[in-house]
Copies of this chain bind each other. A is one copy, B any other.
Amino acid sequence: MHDDDMSYAVRAMRQSQPLVHCLTNMVAAPLSANALLAAGASPAMVDNPHEARATAAAADAVLINLGTPQEETVEAMREAVAGALDAGTPWVLDPIGAGTLPWRSEVALELLELGSPAIIRGNASEILGLAGGEGGRGVDSRHRAEDVMDEAARLATRYGTVVAVSGEVDHLTDGEEIVRLANGSPLLTQVSGAGCALGALMAACAASGAGPLAAAAAGTAMLTVAADRAAEGARGPGSFAAALLDQLALLSPETLAGEVRRS
């Protein structure tokens, strides 16, 4: 993937203001919606089974986040994935807690069997868990991204998808190429739902028509370059979270291209 592909994805996203249908968790919902708005996309947070299929079919991208699943929202997720697949809408899976929590692990695999997402995003433990290994403790990761890239690549190949593993250095792979992005602040780990917002931004970029690897990289670069800038004046996680939204809105594709660090 060239840096140009990433810049293209961001620029195209900004111009098209994609409608991103989010089925996400109750902790991350406000930050995810605000991150999408700040980045220039438009969130639709419809998570009931009656309306999820039509919303997904009408949206430009769909995000499925398994943070706080309930029977009714899981049913809505099934509908949304079906609607996205029918309409050719790219969808992103964020399998929070996969590998640790059996019920949602099954749900994640069931959704993957419906058809391939454009991107699977998680931390190292979740990716390992989804690939069949042992997961983490809670939502934190006890593995590093670089240590699970064999499993990530196999997962990417099995489902024909891009797997994005968050970590100190973010690792993204389509099963062949590995993209490593090294921006971001430790403060991101102190903001609940920052990873979930990242999944939402990837979905927004996946709507741009750029390939999924470029979209995953573009979303990652947006959040982490904004985080670099937000961390500069922050006193702690509260002021950082507000500044992160400010910086997402201020970020130009040119700034992004100049500040993103591949490693």
Residues of chain A at the chain B interface (Cβ within 8 Å): 19, 25-31, 33-34, 37-38, 42-48, 50-51, 54-55, 58-59, 67-73, 97, 101-104, 137-140, 189-193, 234-239, 241-250
State whether A192 and B140 are in contact (beta carbons under 8 Å apart), knowing that A54-B101, A235-B246, A243-B239 are contacts in the complex: no
Which of B26, B38, B69 makes the CB contact (< 8 A) with A29?
B26
Within 8 Å CB of A138, what residues of B? 19, 42-44, 59
Cα–Cα, bound, A235→B243 (Å): 8
Of the A-B pairs whose beta carbons lie under 8 Å apart in the complex, a sample of 11, sorted by A's number, is: A28-B30, A33-B192, A45-B67, A46-B97, A48-B69, A48-B70, A54-B101, A235-B243, A237-B246, A238-B242, A238-B245
Which of B19, B33, B37, B101 makes the CB contact (< 8 A) with A46?
B101
Which of B34, B58, B73 makes the CB contact (< 8 A) with A238?
B34
With CB as the reference atom, state the residue of chain B lying closest to A103.
B50
* 4 additional contacts (CB under 8 A) given A34-B192, A55-B101: A34-B237, A38-B236, A59-B138, A242-B242
Within 8 Å CB of A248, what residues of B? 236
Q: Report copies per complex.
A: 3
State the Cβ distance, A110 to closest chain B Cβ, in Å.
14
Cα–Cα, bound, A98→B55 (Å): 13
Cα–Cα, bound, A230→B243 (Å): 15
With CB as the reference atom, state the residue of chain B lying closest to A22.
B27
Within 8 Å CB of A250, what residues of B? 235-236
Within 8 Å CB of A29, what residues of B? 26-27
Cα–Cα, bound, A28→B34 (Å): 11
- Check B68 against A45 for contact (C-beta < 8 Å): yes
Cα–Cα, bound, A42→B247 (Å): 26
State whether A245 and B249 are in contact (beta carbons under 8 Å apart), knowing that A45-B25, A101-B54 are contacts in the complex: no
Cα–Cα, bound, A25→B73 (Å): 14
